[in-house]
């Protein structure tokens, strides 16, 4: 019996829904509010507003095995003389002053644009990134949500600055239900195949681009996924993906040419293997066994009858 790919992928998405970890999320969200309140208390005269939520959870494309409860703290234009001073002030606060019973103090770390902190709550570890940003000019943030970030040096790369707009990143996927489903599936693939070099922001942008370029988007979830996989296969080596908040930040440049070539061949092989056997879909997009309930025999029989009656396999008709 062939696999009903649409039904299976719905089961995958269901098993990775955030609702399955709602009790844990409540504790994490409560801790995030503690961090946000601490920032207000420490920097109350220097901030534009309280910290805003960012990351995959804020974008509603998180999966329950890997999600971010990150925050971005907007500072006033005159709060610090330099962006480096701003970034160091936030790090120093969490490294030296901030106290919390669940905080792993020695794990506080300087990252490229953020301060990373770690909590252990009821035995579960949660990492949180605090991104400090300074408005471009006085009173600019309220109207534009634009911020300048300090980018710490890395290996041969010197320190620099970059402009971002967290609200624009969130709005990018807002209302795009179909695109978010495919983004979540690609995150399942990314985590289970350990594709750390394929950044989540890259996945979001190239998925949205694939939908935009398709003149007639198919209806089935497998057909949508296949459409995006084919688009990545055919375009990843040449596509230019710009940060919608900053056109000078070319997100596609986060991967080297060789990494793009590897991704091209990985997409090609995946599509060919799934074409040869539907069951191969499971190795690329496995269910989360912790939250997956196997259907009973009666449901399996009903599903088989439904497939037999339809006798139709929908194929995507996009030509990019």
Same domain, 183 and 265: yes
Q: How would you label 119-151 residue by residue, b for 16+ Cβ within 10 Å and e otherwise?
A: beeeeeebebbbbbbbbeeeebbeeebbbbbbb
- Is the confidence at residue 221, as pLDDT, over 90? yes
Q: What CATH number is attached to the domain comprising 288?
A: 1.10.1410.40
Question: Is 74:52 a contact under the CB 8 Å cutoff?
Answer: yes
One domain, residues 168 and 186: no
Of the candidates 99, 65, 52, the one whose C-alpha atom is nearest the C-alpha of residue 187 is: 65
Helix (H) or strand (E) run with residue 243 in it = strand 242-243
139 in a structural domain: yes
What pLDDT was estimated at residue 311?
47
For residue 116, the enclosing domain spans: 18-173
Residue 310 has pLDDT above 50, yes or no: no
Q: Which of 59-63, 102-106, 168-172 has the highest mean pLDDT?
A: 102-106
Dump pLDDT digits (tens) for 252-294: 999 999 999 999 999 999 999 999 999 999 999 999 999 887 6
CB 146 within 8 A of CB 135: yes
316 located within any domain: no
Is the residue at 108 inside a domain? yes
Long-range contacts, stretch 36-40, CB < 8 angstroms, 24+ apart: 36/71, 38/93, 38/98, 39/73, 39/90, 39/93, 39/130
Residue 8 near residue 283 (C-beta atoms within 8 A): no
Joined together, the tokens standing for residue 159 give: 């320190």
Question: Are 86 and 117 within one domain?
Answer: yes
Split into its structural domains, the chain has a count of 2
Contacts for 215 with CB less than 8 Å, ≥ 6 apart: 318, 319
């Amino acid at each position: 019996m062939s696999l009903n790919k649409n039904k299976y992928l719905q089961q995958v998405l269901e098993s990775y829904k955030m609702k399955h970890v709602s009790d844990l999320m409540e504790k994490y969200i409560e801790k995030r509010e503690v961090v946000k309140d601490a920032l207000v208390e420490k920097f109350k005269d220097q901030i534009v507003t309280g910290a805003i939520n960012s990351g995959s959870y804020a974008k509603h494309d998180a999966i329950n095995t890997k999600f971010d409860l990150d925050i971005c703290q907007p500072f006033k234009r005159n709060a610090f003389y330099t962006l480096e001073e701003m970034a160091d002030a936030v790090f120093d606060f969490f490294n030296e002053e901030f106290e919390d019973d669940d905080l792993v103090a020695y794990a506080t770390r300087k990252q490229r644009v953020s301060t990373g902190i770690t909590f252990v709550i009821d035995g579960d570890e949660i990492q949180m990134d605090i991104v400090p940003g300074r408005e471009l000019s006085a009173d600019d943030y309220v109207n534009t949500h634009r911020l300048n970030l300090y980018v710490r040096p890395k290996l041969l790369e010197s320190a620099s600055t970059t402009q971002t707009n967290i609200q624009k990143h969130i709005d990018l996927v807002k209302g795009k239900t179909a695109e978010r489903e495919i983004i979540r599936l690609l995150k399942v693939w990314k985590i289970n195949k350990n594709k750390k070099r394929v950044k989540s922001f890259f996945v979001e942008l190239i998925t949205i681009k694939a939908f935009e370029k398709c003149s007639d988007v198919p209806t089935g979830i497998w057909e949508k996924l296949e459409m995006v996989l084919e688009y990545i296969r055919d375009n990843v080596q040449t596509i230019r993906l710009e940060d919608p908040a900053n056109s000078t930040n070319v997100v596609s440049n986060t991967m080297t040419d060789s990494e793009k070539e590897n991704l091209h061949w990985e997409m090609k092989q995946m599509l060919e293997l799934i074409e040869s056997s539907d069951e191969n879909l499971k190795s690329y997009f496995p269910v989360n066994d912790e939250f997956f309930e196997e259907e009973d025999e009666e449901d399996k029989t009903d599903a088989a009858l439904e497939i037999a009656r339809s006798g139709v396999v929908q194929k995507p008709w996009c030509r990019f």
